[in-house]
Amino acid sequence: MNFENTLAFATKQDELDPLRKFRNEFLFPKHKENDFIYLCGNSLGLQPKSVQEVMKVQLDNWHNLAIEGWFEGDSPWMYYHKELKELMAPIVGASAVEVCPMNTLTVNLHLLMVSFYQPKAKKFKIIMEAGAFPSDQYAIESQVRFHGYDPAEAIIEVRPRTGEYILRTEDIEAAIAENGEQIALVLFGGVNYFTGQFFDMEAITVAGHAAGAVVGFDLAHAAGNVPLALHNWNVDFACWCSYKYQNGGPGGISGIFVHDKHFGDLKLNRFAGWWGYQEKQRFKMDKGFVPERGADGWQVSCTQVMPMALYHASLKIFEEAGFITPLRTKSEALTGYLIYLIHEVNNALGQLLFEVITPAAASDRGAQVSIIAKVNPKQIFMELVANDVLGDWREPNVIRLSPVPLYNSFTDVFRTGELLMRIGREVLK
């Protein structure tokens, strides 16, 4: 696409956008009676308008059916998660039996590491991206300690080269190969939360398996954002939250993926609970845990009906939109347009006030553009908020702007670029 720095261009693209109707499916926060230009979907997605009706249905079920709601009504709670599984699977490139909605993200990461981090005397290390989101760092550190190892010895972090912000795939592959004899687990994010880099997950999986390691991913910033093919890439396991790009509500329910090649391995360790027991035998209350086949066998506690209802509302919008492929096409255009406008601002100002640290190649980024503000960064961020643009601030000087294809427009992006130009001129006076 040949971009233009004009409102007319942005308006035309919005008119041509086949996804434009979905913007009206969401509720936007307001600032001084104006709708925010909301560019923070990478932290918390907007509320679908359908959520209130979906929640009312479940509240009415609770009211009218009470305990019988588990087995009666249009969608009995006992099987409600199965409706979500069918909608989750296309988002991550899996079969329905390989996914399950349950718990929250870091809880699921721990539960999956119980099964898939099995350190041995010489093969005990975990390799991960440096600067991963703190939850991942803390979870991995505690798992390593739980097995009696020192995190300083057992965790290998792969960093960008000096002076760079993006991890090169060849450097990740080289680090895995170099340490292969000692690596038990390769555990990366799908998209880096800070830079927005979309990692080559297939290549990482191939490299990890070649080293004899298990490979897993935290897809918090990837699920619902970028195209995924977890089954075909032969990924061993993954987990994600629903409240970012999938609009599942604050603290919303998480999802897990376990590749079906592991379903027959009954020797896998797991922290078991009643809801992971064989569904048809569950109410016999027998001793001796026998897991349900598939990802459902990793469940611990019973179905979280209300959080699932929130997630379900958004997943139905994804289904209507055609899942990820059309969203990805628009996402690449939105982020490309934002990067173009930032370069236009720098050129007009005659200096690099805003440095883009997100990959330039559309295939290497998600729906996020991270910029380093070189002068008065916090002031610039606060000025954006004061003028109805809500992004995300990360210390010490990074502003993350996330145009989400389900509800953001080219006009949103143009107005943001226009505002960056005005603020830039003011801070450089």
- Which residue type is seen at 28? F
Same domain, 136 and 283: yes
Same domain, 231 and 375: no
What percentage of residues in the chain have a pLDDT greater than 90?
A: 96
Q: Average pLDDT, whole number, for the chain?
A: 97
Assign 32 a pLDDT band (cuts: 50, 70, 90): confident
Q: Is 38 exposed, middle or buried (0-12, 13-18, 19+ CB in 10 A)?
A: buried
Other Cβ atoms within 10 Å of 145 Cβ, number:
12
Q: Is 279 exposed, middle or buried (0-12, 13-18, 19+ CB in 10 A)?
A: middle
CB 420 within 8 A of CB 352: no
* Segment 93-112 mean pLDDT: 98
Residue 57 lies in a domain: no
Task: Give the tens place of pLDDT for each residue, 118-160.
Answer: 999 899 999 999 999 999 999 999 999 999 999 999 999 999 9
**Dihedral, 97, 101, 102, 105 alpha carbons, nearest 10:** 110
State the residue for tokens 């008065």: 376
* Segment 195-205 mean pLDDT: 98
Assign residue 255 a region (left: φ > 0; alpha: ψ between -120 and 50; beta: otherwise): beta
Looking at residue 73, what DSSP letter applies?
Answer: S
Q: Which of 321, 336, 365 is the last residue of a domain?
A: 321
Residue 59 lies in a domain: no
Same domain, 193 and 141: yes
84 vs 312: CA distance, rounded Å: 6
Residue among 155, 151, 221 nearest 185 (CA): 155
Q: Which of 306, 321, 336 is the last residue of a domain?
A: 321
State the residue for tokens 């009643």: 274
Same domain, 287 and 393: no
Task: Show the beta-strand stretches assigned E in 320-419.
Answer: 354-356, 369-373, 389-390, 392-394, 398-401
Residue 169 lies in a domain: yes
Residue 386 lies in a domain: yes
Assign 244 a pLDDT band (cuts: 50, 70, 90): very high
Same domain, 23 and 116: no
Residue among 113, 82, 117 nearest 100 (CA): 82
Indicate if the alpha-carbon torsion angle 240, 243, 247, 253 is positive or negative: positive
Tokens of 293: 């086949």
Same domain, 257 and 395: no
Residue 162 lies in a domain: yes
- CATH code of the domain in which 42 resides: 3.90.1150.10
Task: Give the tens place of pLDDT for each residue, 150-194.
Answer: 999 999 999 999 999 999 999 999 999 999 999 999 999 999 999
- Which residue type is seen at 15? E
Residue 54 lies in a domain: no
Chain-centroid distance of CA 371 in Å reads 20
Task: Give the tens place of pLDDT for each residue, 39-82.
Answer: 999 999 999 999 999 999 999 999 999 999 999 999 999 999 99
Residue 24 lies in a domain: yes
> Could you tell me the residue range of the domain that residue 292 belongs to?
75-321
Same domain, 22 and 105: no
The pLDDT, as a whole number, for residue 1 is: 85
The pLDDT, as a whole number, for residue 429 is: 86
Assign 91 a pLDDT band (cuts: 50, 70, 90): very high
Cα distance from N-terminal residue to C-terminal residue, the chain: 34
User: Residue 333 above 90 pLDDT?
Assistant: yes
Residue among 193, 233, 240, 197 nearest 215 (CA): 233
pTM, to two decimals: 0.96
SS3 239: strand
Cα→Cα distances 75→72, 86, 279, 316, Å: 7, 14, 17, 15
How many domains does the structure of the chain reveal? 2
Residue among 128, 184, 182 nearest 156 (CA): 128
Q: Which of 273, 289, 321 is the last residue of a domain?
A: 321
Assign 391 a pLDDT band (cuts: 50, 70, 90): very high
SS3 26: strand
User: Residue 267 above 90 pLDDT?
Assistant: no
Same domain, 29 and 92: no
State the residue for tokens 């956008």: 17
Indicate if the alpha-carbon torsion angle 178, 205, 124, 255 is positive or negative: positive
User: Residue 266 above 90 pLDDT?
Assistant: no
Query: Can you list the alpha helix ranges (DSSP code H) found in 376-409?
Result: 377-386
Same domain, 81 and 185: yes
Q: What is the 3-state secondary structure (H, E, C) of 271-320?
A: CCCHHHECHHHHHHCCCCCCECCCHHHHCCCCCCHHHHHHHHHHHHHHHH
- CATH code of the domain in which 177 resides: 3.40.640.10
Assign 260 a pLDDT band (cuts: 50, 70, 90): very high
Same domain, 314 and 341: no
Same domain, 317 and 327: no
Residue 53 lies in a domain: no
Same domain, 330 and 281: no
User: Residue 19 above 90 pLDDT?
Assistant: yes
CB 258 within 8 A of CB 98: yes
Assign 377 a pLDDT band (cuts: 50, 70, 90): very high
246 vs 87: CA distance, rounded Å: 12
